[in-house]
Chain A
């Protein structure tokens, strides 16, 4: 017996020593942060991981800052169907669910986490200093972009700058914008001075960072009544700095205005244009879209790119590989006669243009070529369009035509003409359905913006007059803020720029209130626009245009996060009622 016990204990002790080694396993399918990123290829992957957050943000559709900016401003109403309560809620500055922005909040913090992770692990890699700077510069820009999206939508949010999880309170605007400006400054300093045409489109450039800095500076100083931004290291960004960067951009970027405003927008693409019956002018003058067949446009400083890989299966990222803003703002109703609304395609009918924009514009600048280039006047341009399709509410006579599904007709081999839901199908070999086939870039910063921001900061007419010239308008003799404000309103109508403009100019309450009593159609029946929660001005005064942060996050933070002002029970929008 003793013998066995002895044997057993020897066996046991042998086993125990080798146990830990036996239990070690290696992950054969995934790398981890101990062996990633190691080389340039890994860094590219990590960077793409951050860029793809732009796509995922578009996949958040109605709940993205871009969409909210479009419908919350006085450019447009909510629109869509009577069940699209988020469209209406954003227009009325109301809440349609305590966690309505959870998805977008999550997506933007994913981008921030990935940026933080790359910044932290960057030094483990063996790449040249130039490559390192390029990648870091783009990363800093994107982190700043993500935070600016969050800051625009929510005001203040937790400032997370490391991958280690910390339950942080919301940062003050000073801290938050200080960090955004610091990241942009890093991007400007790290990215090379290479003309836009020598870089691959979609990548962040020094010029985009300079323009973004001006946008951030204008919003922060205007909205928060500041004169400068204080960086975390105590240095300050002044108006003079920003003007200097814009001067650099104007002088060295190679970016320029396109000759014709219509060339910015995909309805002038070469495939559609051949069959675009309403526009002989464009056809005669060969006004081809600047991004035809994937070309880089000199006017685009920064845009979100889309691909053929989009699928509609409940995955925010995969959906965001196509331009969901086009789908959302497309003309409503599967039963619309496709010929009658050609070349514009089917969508959910969000963001119908506020008739007041058309009234004001035609009154003040009747010769402006941009009016017809920007806005579909439905009764005139598309008389066959049916109102009230699929319970359409807050519908107006006007839609923007910039961010739109654009169909195309192609004469097939058998001689028959085939209509496609998007020109991208014949142009880029896209195989998506009408919900995923819109893959034109979503332009976020245009050169016209650079010129107008320059005018605004310098209080000069150079930039503004270049923009007016292209629009067939006479030059201004002297700079005025009113003229600048109008010019920005016309130039960027429907592009989501107006929202932060009216907020920083402190004219939001007044301008938003004008949305009440406009001619709209509900279920196809002519009506007057109404408001909720006490009116647009009241809701703006209560919220300052900031939307509620997700309640789920407040609960999870154990109330370290605080809800924004103006978002109590009284802000609930129950849904459309007749």
Chain B
């Protein structure tokens, strides 16, 4: 207190003797000329300073004579300004800090100057994601991240993305590790893009090695918005838009359908169908073309489906405390599925803050703490978009056009109508829209997620930081559904009013302690980090009940309490724990640089996982990387005018994958077999209750990590006054000892355990080029990213060298379409090659009847790939590759005064798609798309598609390249045009009032005949079996209108 008194006294004396005046001026942005509020203005060499107001004006009260001012603001280059004698109307412009290499990047357990980073990472700013107006941040990342292949799982609202970094490296879980605000394992799709400060993608092993055992597929680090020192900033971003289906698949109308069906029967030598007796009521209308039949896709299309998003962000703080708060609401309706329209509604709440508790006399932040809390809630409704058995869109594509949607009373055309109207032609699916509606209309799931992280930092001496952080992740939710009684065919029916409820709740805990230290010895700088973490995840339970005997008949009352009693075989109960995973880790990192010219980093991590047996639990993951900033060398700095910056990087590292079900080291006992309950009905008992049991796997106590080993060489360069920047990387990623459930001899008699049994190598290059220039008020920039990857399997630990995908994928009774095989890309399409269609008997004779004994004109010519004179399984070969060779993305943006314009595009090339909308082998009456017009129906009519026959015929039933198409595409993802009305109305209190219009998924350049070439299909339980279109819910085209307002 005494000290302060003395100080005040001194100041008083000092002031009274001063003759200097107050300094007044304004701080603006050098490019936009917008005021910069909150800028710091300090008289050089003193502590005297002030902060600019909302309109950029400042008044610096001082008694001393100021010569130079230092003006600074976050994100801008600080300036020192000589003011001379001037004290009024000092106009100061600050230039935005475009020297991106001075930026820091998140590297895992810390940050690093981008200039010193020796790995291959991508840093994407939140604002770049936000302006693309996607529901999930990953949707926006699609066009921003070379080497990261992002594919939507489905265009249905609320569906996620398939993310592969640098090629598929495993047959198991190939998703990267997500770390949101330091917490491992959250769901990035539950974040609103407006909540994100930055996303960092760690691509090479050296960068991701710090995450060790789970980083084999790369790491995606998400940092949510943090508070900023300065005045409170409030911003609102919102848009409203409409979405539409932009491309449909044309199906046959009623008359065409009859023609094709007749042709099939003719080809099969079967009597033609007597249509007038099969569809007595409608037949004349169809023949006279008074009725075209039902177009099921059109009927289920939801026109102008709305989408909206509103996000509010508040940030502020002072030197000791900073905070950031975000609120958002997003709602999206699906474009397909009417009247059971899919809906996704999401609310997110975020509160981040950090506080300096104690700053010592040397201005070191001795004690600091902070927290980040993200809460999200989303409600989901959807239709079936799964495999061929549960796919409402597919059902609509292949439903018979001869069936009406409604009966004469306006109810769904169902089995009763079939019987009463004499409709003797039951298409296998029945009424697909009725089924979709009954099954899905009354089904909602509600999901809650909470990510919370709390940390303390102690800095006892300068640059020695001890940090402790505690992460908590909670996932909970409930779902409820009601299915009424219905009957659509003799088989498709629901006999009971079913009510189902389920609920789940669980959490994950994570505790981390790190010590980091920075030490400078002349030109040598060392940084070090050691740390330790423990994680316990999947601590949770699920409980579910399905019951019948419902006493109401609506969704509102559909709770288990409103159902009566227990009905054997119909009341289903389940309750289970999630299966705890535990992980314990130790890690360290040493960084070194000499004059920021030569640099190196060494990382080591040790992980112990509960998934493995004692003695096989610990894995060690080292990495080393080095960089050389050539542009700092004397011999090159002379040419600085052209080359501003050039850094060479090289790295090597190892990391792992432990994503495997637990307890593979025990012979576990199962009471079900492939999900079917086991029992045996002794005596009179037709409803037996005693469950049978058996050991379901052969134990493998030796199971351990899958290891990925990666070399990366690259450079970063900037030319022409940093207007042009280039980044290039070459990598080779070898994944060894996959966790494989390899086929074993069936005579072993039970399930195969996981073994470490496969290797794959991914090699590729990534190249990105960026241009930015400002010409007076006109700013523009463009970028292009290219990534090329080649995937090859090197080893499978069984004699056949093959892992098969599921069979019955395209149609019941068909062989697997995807395989993993040594020497081929993972999950390549496997089938017969065709060499056209036999046009006539002469051609058959020429090929030789030994090959295809019973061939007839119109049959497919299968290729004898192994030249053994017979066509059989061993002629099956690679007929396609679901992985693109090349992924590209482009962007262009420009701004002039208040106007801004941007366009982004992304595409993939070199991949194939396997397509089948019909269950051709066993359901001959399913409808076709108009593709079938290109079939063979007489000499010279087609040399690709064989004649139409019942699907059991080898022409169609055997998987061949007739189902394969090239999937190359380029999508114009986003076009936005905006104007900031602040330019017009300079005096409004707002600092920004931008209004924009935006179009998404504007156009797709592709030759692919399906609705959407961006196929996010993944075979159930087999992440590697991709690229199959069974009726894929496409991405909508959207037009939206939005505003960004801040003050």
Contact = CB atoms under 8 A, between A and B. Distances in A.
A317 B678 contact: yes
A317 B677 CA distance: 9
A44 interface: yes
B534 A22 contact: yes
Given A49-B694, A51-B680, A294-B684, A98 B872 contact: yes
Interface string B688-725: 10111111001000000000000000000000000000
Interface string B864-880: 00000010110000000
B270 interface: yes
A307 B952 contact: no
A507 B490 CA distance: 46
A510 B796 CA distance: 48
Interface stretch (B144-152, B156-164, B574-582, B642-650): B574-582
Given A48-B690, A48-B691, A25 B580 contact: yes
Interface residues of B, number: 79
B454 interface: no
B853 interface: yes
B668 A32 contact: yes
B468 to A, nearest CB: 12
Contacts of A28: 577, 579
A113 B750 contact: yes
A123 B669 CA distance: 17
A105 B748 CA distance: 11
B669 A555 contact: no
Nearest to A578: B269
A556 B743 contact: yes
Nearest to B870: A569
B458 to A, nearest CB: 11
A202 B490 CA distance: 33
Contacts of A50: 692, 694
A541 B691 CA distance: 45
B894 interface: no
Contact of B669 (A33, A157, A315, A391): A33
Given A33-B666, A307-B687, A105 B680 contact: no
Interface in B652-697: 662-663, 666-671, 673-688, 690-695
Interface centre among B466, B750, B853 (most CB of A within 10 A): B750
B685 A52 contact: no
A305 B686 CA distance: 9
Contacts of A261: none
A317 B674 contact: yes
B633 interface: no
A458 interface: no
A572 B954 contact: no
B674 A202 contact: no
A200 B683 contact: yes
Interface string B558-580: 00000000000100000011011
Interface in B487-526: 490-491, 495, 513, 515
Interface in A441-478: none
Interface string A415-438: 000000000100011110110000
A410 B906 CA distance: 65
A440 B570 CA distance: 22
B384 to A, nearest CB: 15
A49 B614 CA distance: 31
A112 interface: yes
Nearest to A117: B695
A388 B666 CA distance: 54
Nearest to B582: A23
Contacts of A200: 682-683
B676 A167 contact: no
B459 interface: no
A431 to B, nearest CB: 7
A168 B747 CA distance: 9
A160 B926 CA distance: 46
A42 to B, nearest CB: 7
B268 interface: yes
A297 B581 CA distance: 54
Interface centre among B270, B490, B666, B679 (most CB of A within 10 A): B679
Contacts of B577: 28-29
B673 A317 contact: yes
A15 B530 CA distance: 14
Contacts of B581: 25
Given A32-B669, A160-B749, A202-B680, A572 B872 contact: yes
Contact of A114 (B579, B663, B749, B952): B749
Contacts of A160: 747-749
A305 B681 contact: yes
Interface residues of A, number: 99
Nearest to A291: B684
Contact of B952 (A1, A29, A82): A82
A165 B695 CA distance: 13
B872 A569 contact: yes
Contacts of B491: 433
Contacts of A361: none
Chain B binding surface, main DSSP class:
loop
A163 interface: yes
A317 B954 contact: no
B694 A30 contact: no
A163 B750 CA distance: 9
Contacts of B19: none
A556 to B, nearest CB: 5
A143 B491 CA distance: 37
B785 interface: no
B13 interface: no
A163 B580 contact: no
A318 to B, nearest CB: 4
B123 to A, nearest CB: 31
A305 to B, nearest CB: 5
A15 B531 CA distance: 12
B637 interface: no
A27 B663 contact: yes
A23 B610 contact: yes
Nearest to A201: B683
A48 B680 contact: yes
Contact of B750 (A51, A81, A110, A294): A110
B586 interface: yes
A116 interface: yes
A76 to B, nearest CB: 22
A553 B746 CA distance: 7
Given A33-B695, A52-B680, A577-B854, A309 B687 contact: yes
B103 to A, nearest CB: 31
Contacts of A82: 268, 952
A106 B694 contact: no
Interface of A: 1, 4, 8, 11-12, 15, 19-20, 22-25, 27-34, 36, 42, 44-52, 54-56, 81-83, 98, 102, 105-106, 109-114, 116-117, 157-158, 160, 163, 165, 167-168, 200-203, 293-295, 305-309, 311, 314-318, 321, 391, 424, 428-431, 433-434, 439, 523, 550-553, 555-558, 569, 572, 574-575, 577-578
27 contacts: A4-B464, A22-B534, A25-B580, A28-B579, A31-B668, A32-B669, A45-B671, A48-B680, A98-B873, A102-B746, A106-B746, A109-B746, A113-B749, A160-B748, A163-B695, A201-B683, A202-B681, A202-B682, A203-B682, A305-B681, A308-B686, A308-B687, A430-B686, A431-B495, A553-B745, A556-B799, A572-B872
Given A11-B513, A48-B679, A317-B674, 10 more contacts: A20-B617, A33-B669, A34-B666, A50-B692, A98-B872, A165-B748, A306-B686, A309-B569, A311-B676, A433-B491
Interface of B: 268-270, 464, 466, 490-491, 495, 513, 515, 530, 532, 534, 569, 576-577, 579-582, 584, 586, 608-610, 614, 617, 662-663, 666-671, 673-688, 690-695, 698, 743-750, 798-800, 808, 853-854, 870, 872-873, 950, 952-954
Q: Nearest 8 A-B pairs (CB), nearest first?
A: A113-B749, A83-B952, A294-B684, A48-B692, A318-B676, A49-B692, A307-B681, A49-B694
